[in-house]
Amino acid sequence: MNLEELSRAVVAGDIDVAEGLTKKAIASNIPVADILNTGLVPGLRRVGELFEKGEYYLPELIVSGDAVVRALEYLEPMMGKEGGLYMGKYLIGTVQGDVHDLGKNIVIMMLRGNGWQVTDLGVDVSPEEFCSAVSGGDYDIIGLSSLLTMTMPNAARTIEAMKAAGLRDKVKVMVGGAPTTAEWAGKIGADAHAKDGPTAAIVAAKLVGKS
Ligand code: B12
């Protein structure tokens, strides 16, 4: 099966075709990581390019996003089946001012599939909400997702707020999202950066010494 078709269905915002092709890919035993990285994610990337060029508007972003949400519903149970040893507790959220969550949800799928117990704080999460969740739980790692250049400083603010509340040493901090880099992660005092879901699972395991 050609995953290029799945990318095209995402770009076209054709939710039913994306659903059908995802089911077909699963039935053809294509690994979840390939369905994501060769089918769904490149489609979304192309949508972003078209939006940037002014050829697509917000409604197109929304339907393409929804096509991926539908596909993820079928992929999520597959991750459970791929399984893994228990790794630890992971707290994750999209930073304040940002409502993008597809990337975060893919990271969550990958982490769960690799043995992490994940708590999802959702989107538009303030530094105070992150701090209160960290202080009330026994998490090993906290993950901050940011898709907008405008909201990247809110990841830095979250880390600063954790320091001010004496929580920074309680957990490792990972950051990610399309505009983020490892260099920026270092600058804002995070422990690690990951460029995609599969890498996030590998890096998380390393951070807790279980790789
Ligand atoms: C779909 C989409 C939307 C959907 C989101 C739906 C949803 N439920 O998420 C909607 C329609 C809501 C939306 C809204 C907006 N969007 Co938008 N959107 C996109 C689009 C096309 C895809 C995003 C996406 O899902 N990518 C695919 C995922 C898989 O990639 P990812 O998120 O980067 O995640 C991967 C990695 O980064 C990493 N990762 C992600 N998070 C984390 C966290 C951790 C801890 C780790 C370790 C790793 C990690 O792993 C993920 C999986 O592999 C992008 C284009 C693009 N190139 O990204 C624009 C884009 C992000 N949006 C953009 C803009 C401008 C907006 C709006 C401001 C538009 C508007 N005028 O209103 C609003 C902002 C609303 C807000 N306040 O947040 C710009 C941002 C520009 C910038 N540099 O800041 C982009 C880049 C489009 C563009 N080229 O201009 N958007």
147 CA distance to ligand 1 centroid (A)? 5
DSSP string, 143-197: EEE--SGGGHHHHHHHHHHHHHTT-GGGSEEEEE-TT--HHHHHHTT-SEE-SSH
- The pLDDT score that the predictor gives to residue 81 is 55
Which residue, of 60, 82, 104, is where some domain finishes? 82
Same-domain pairing of 35 and 95: no
CATH number at residue 128: 3.40.50.280
- The pLDDT score that the predictor gives to residue 86 is 85
Same-domain pairing of 78 and 132: no
Same-domain pairing of 17 and 121: no
Residues with beta carbon inside 6 Å of ligand 1?
41, 44-45, 47-48, 51-52, 58, 61-62, 65, 92, 97-104, 106-107, 143-145, 147-150, 174-179, 194, 196-197, 200
Query: Angle 88-91-94 (CA atoms, 0-180°, nearest 5)?
Result: 150
Residues 6 or more apart in contact with residue 16 via CB below 8 angstroms:
none
CATH number at residue 60: 1.10.1240.10
Same-domain pairing of 96 and 193: yes
Place of tokens 């994750």: 92
- The pLDDT score that the predictor gives to residue 109 is 87
- By most ligand atoms within 8 Å of CB, the mutation choice from 61, 64, 91, 107 for ligand 1 is 61
Instruction: Give dist(CA 72, CA 69) in Å, integer.
Output: 5
Quote the domain boundaries for residue 139: 88-207
- The pLDDT score that the predictor gives to residue 78 is 82
Which residue, of 53, 82, 111, is where some domain finishes? 82
Low-confidence ranges of the chain (pLDDT < 50): none
Model pTM score: 0.92
- The pLDDT score that the predictor gives to residue 80 is 61
